[in-house]
Structure 1
């Protein structure tokens, strides 16, 4: 679990599509450097969020660590674009003594979004985004949480009428100085994890409705039958 509060910015040192070392396991691995500040308590098997993706440490040194990348991660995220020298946001998994300053972040990326606009507003920047996979747009609500490249942010506006739909966040100066978003340009992709709360509520509603519909004498079916009966009576009385 993570908070979406970026601890430091690392640098991609190597993106190896077929790492045949013992730690690589003949799979895709990425090595991140310039991150000594988050490795003082590191262990093999630890989780570190890299641009919001929960990844497992398979090897590390004083200021570098290596993570394995699954095919599912490559499909869901922008990890394929992490070339040597790319900057990435880093956050360790939370411990019991960490203040929860952001929001509940799993590190499980849902999809990617494209940066479509950036406008200054005072010392803040308003960024606009469009999702690659529109089915996740329903979970993005004004003043709700969203995690973008591992950064916990608040949605300031949702534009459902624009082509493809768009949503916006406002990034204050402090955040600009400590995350990679300002380094990106319009057209670049970012990793998106929508707020888990919306998914949970939707799932519970669907399960409840399915359970109610399947039972003939359920509260829902009884209520629908009563409404239909009243409407039929009203119609026949005219």
Structure 2
């Protein structure tokens, strides 16, 4: 698992395709320094397994499911990437519980600069909207962030009118703007999203109308 606190801004290298998957090279001197074969490193919020390490560069296998669920397939050599090594039992949980299992991809809708920080609005896939709440946690390109606001299209609008899509807003402090990809991504750029895993477990445990009772529960 991870905490969503980015350790290093790395750089994407070569992506060698093998069928519908590929091997991706990532340059990151800090995280590569103690990386070993089999270690987990989050790349833009995607948990990937180290295959090899050479100097300040490591390679990872990326399977079709990962490309389908994330924006990694759009990386070009030289693109900056957020890097975080897997947490240890001694790690400070500065962010929130992050699995590195991307749930979907959103697009940056707008950026509103402030005096020292910036508000960023991100489109939210409809299937993920129910897991995102104001003041809750969300992971954007591997960065643990607090949701400032959530907007949803009108209930009777099908399809939703332009500008009324599911979306959420986050505020980025100077450190986040400087040390992560979120300070560099333009309107329209795609970002990897991971919703709070606790919300998904709670939903799964709730009894469904007409369904079987939960373990130990009486009708």
Match runs of 1:1-238 below 5 Å: 1-18=1-18, 27-33=21-27, 35-131=28-124, 133-161=125-153, 163-206=164-207, 210-212=211-213, 218-219=218-219
Give unmatched runs, 5+ long, in structure 1.
20-25, 220-238
In structure 1, distance between residues paired with 2:198 and 2:61: 28
Deviation at 1:27, TM superposition (A): 4.5
In structure 1, distance between residues paired with 2:127 and 2:85: 29
Give unmatched runs, 5+ long, in structure 2.
154-162
**TM-score, normalising length: structure 2:** 0.90
**TM-score, normalising length: structure 1:** 0.83
Deviation at 1:218, TM superposition (A): 3.8
In structure 1, distance between residues paired with 2:36 and 2:92: 22
Q: For 1:194-221, what per-residue CA distance to the aligned partner results, in whole angstroms no more than 9, with x for missing partners?
A: 00111011111036972339xxx945xx
In structure 2, distance between residues paired with 1:209 and 1:171: 44
Say which SS state the counterpart of residue 90 (structure 1) adopts: strand
Contact in 1 for aligned 2:176/2:183 (Cα 8 Å)? no
What is the total number of aligned residue pairs between the two structures?
209
In structure 1, distance between residues paired with 2:86 and 2:210: 36
Return closer, same or farther for 1:137/1:87 CA change in 2, 3 Å cut-off.
same
Say which SS state the counterpart of residue 191 (structure 1) adopts: strand
Deviation at 1:122, TM superposition (A): 2.2
Return closer, same or farther for 1:209/1:54 CA change in 2, 3 Å cut-off.
farther
In structure 1, distance between residues paired with 2:186 and 2:21: 31
Q: Give the root-mean-square deviation of aligned CA atoms.
A: 2.1
In structure 1, distance between residues paired with 2:122 and 2:211: 34
Moved over 6 A (4+): none
Indicate the structure with greater helix content: 1
Q: For 1:47-73, what per-residue CA distance to the aligned partner results, in whole angstroms no more than 9, with x for missing partners?
A: 000000000000112200000000000
Deviation at 1:121, TM superposition (A): 2.1
Higher relative contact order (CA 8 A, sep 6+): 2
In structure 2, distance between residues paired with 1:207 and 1:61: 51
